[in-house]
Structure 1
Amino acid sequence: MTLPQENPARPVSEDDRNTAVRRVQEAYAEGHLSHDEMDDRLQRVLIAKTYGDLEPVLASLPEEAAGTTSTIGALGGRIKRRGAWRVPRTLKVESAFGSVRLDLSRAVFEHPAVDIDLQVGTGRAKITVPRDAVVDVDGLHTGWKDLRYKAPRSSGPGGPRIRISGTMGYGRLKIRHARR
């Protein structure tokens, strides 16, 4: 997120706040901040009202790498990714009618945390995550059908953190951990 220098009084949007929180968390995960610094900065991000309030919080953090967001979409039909594909920092999946199948079990993770934003109208989605992944589905809203995900009793250390958010309209999302 680049802050507009010409208007620091502009109100912070929810997307901007979420991006700032993600940048602070990534800086902590990469060792740029101590735990106390992260807590302090997250608190300041959450109470920020304007871009001017966010600027000092984010000023010393590393910039987000370009090309860390990818979008795959289809009006109808299938969206399918499997094998050893590179997972971007943020993956946006948009499907109006059809099915989504993401197999992350052999995917290459270049970031410790990955955000998957699902925007699925009608259809179902299935996501297979690595065995040691930590999955967070708190940001996902389901409409007609429910979410099928059972977190494992324990995840191994060092696995990627996968945050799934967005909206599932009239379909079911099934998330499972790979067995291998």
Structure 2
Amino acid sequence: MTDDDAVPDLRASDADRERVAEVLRDAVAEGRLDMAEFEERLEQTYQARTYGELAPITRDLPAPGVAPPPVISLRKEPPAEGDWAGRIVGGEGSSTWAVAVMSGFQRKGRWTVPRRFNCVAFWGGGEIDLREADFAAGEVEINCVAIMGGVQIVVPPGVEVVVRGIGIMGGFDQRESGAVGDPGAPRVVVTGFAFWGGVGVERKRTRAARRQEKLARKAATRELP
């Protein structure tokens, strides 16, 4: 039981309400609350008149400086962006090739990129998303053959990309080639052949990372006044 629980009818001060608001700001920055929950609880905080009204607002949130108990999960979660040491796992890779003939293919989510991945798109298209992938080695090669079709490769920030493909009445996207990678990050080499087709390379963050950054910016904006 906290001191607040012991005197629920005692009138709360402005400093008490601001202390609760600070806990809420920390919670939204850490992803414990979404913006709708944050705004609702913040309104309740500034309308509260007693400790009894304040206490439930943060009852399910850790106090500042207090770490919550560890949670053990049996489900493998997507790795955090930039945690490269844990994403170069060795082995053979969970998928080594893909073919799309007047159709399409996808490799995305949690999968292990082999040392060499081969794919063919003929009158079709393919997507190879590496943002949540593990890597069998520090350098992997993605060999693409695109004939009247296309392949789109999505890499996370920090990964070095080298593009060496050849295009005839087609092309390989060179925009991400040559950027220096993060220390310890894998290197992705894109090779192959494109005829009346193309192989694109784009660098994107995961949806979860973009959402977390957006929430943090909103929380920081609210603190400015």
The match for 2:110 among 67, 80, 84 is 84
**Please, which of 175, 182, 196 is the counterpart of residue 156 of structure 1?**
182
What is the CA deviation profile of residues 33-52 of structure 1, one whole-angstrom value per residue up to 9, with x for unaligned ones?
A: xxxxxxxxxxxxxxxxxxxx
Q: AA paired with 1:161?
A: R
| Structure 1 residue aligned with 2:171 | 146
**Offset at 1:141?**
0.5
1:96 has 2:102 as partner: no
SS in 2 for 1:74: strand
Per-residue Cα deviation, 1:14-47 (whole angstroms, up to 9, x for no partner): xxxxxxxxxxxxxxxxxxxxxxxxxxxxxxxxxx
More helix by share: 2
Contact 2:93 2:135 in 1 (8 A): no
Return the index of the structure with the highest Cα Rg.
Answer: 2
- Please list the CA deviations of residues 33-74 of structure 1 after superposition, one character each: whole Å capped at 9, or x if unmatched: xxxxxxxxxxxxxxxxxxxxxxxxxxxxxxxx7679822113
Q: Name the structure 2 match of 1:129.
A: 155
CA distance, structure 1, for counterparts of residue 187 and residue 110 of structure 2:
18
State TM-score, norm by structure 2: 0.46
Instruction: State the Cα RMSD in Å.
Output: 2.4
Inter-partner Cα distance in structure 1 for 2:100 and 2:201: 21
Q: Within 1, Cα distance between the matches of 2:179 and 2:150?
A: 26
- DSSP 3-state at the match of 1:149: coil
How many Å separate the matches in 2 of 1:105 and 1:179?
Answer: 7
* CA distance in 2: counterparts of 1:69 and 1:161, whole angstroms: 18
Q: Who is 2:100 aligned against?
A: 74
What corresponds to 1:60 in structure 2? Answer: none
- Cα separation, partners in 2 of 1:66 and 1:124, compared to 1, 3 Å: closer
- SS of the equivalent of 1:84 reads coil
Alpha-carbon separation, structure 2, partners of 1:82 and 1:144: 28
Structure 2 CA distance for aligned equivalents of residues 69 and 82 of structure 1: 11
- What is the number of residues matched between the two proteins? 116
Summarize the Cα distance change of 1:98–1:105 in structure 2 as closer, same or farther, 3 Å threshold.
same
Q: Is the 8 A contact 1:122 1:170 kept in 2?
A: yes
Unaligned runs of 5+ in 2: 1-90, 207-225
Task: Check if 1:119 corresponds to 2:145.
Answer: yes
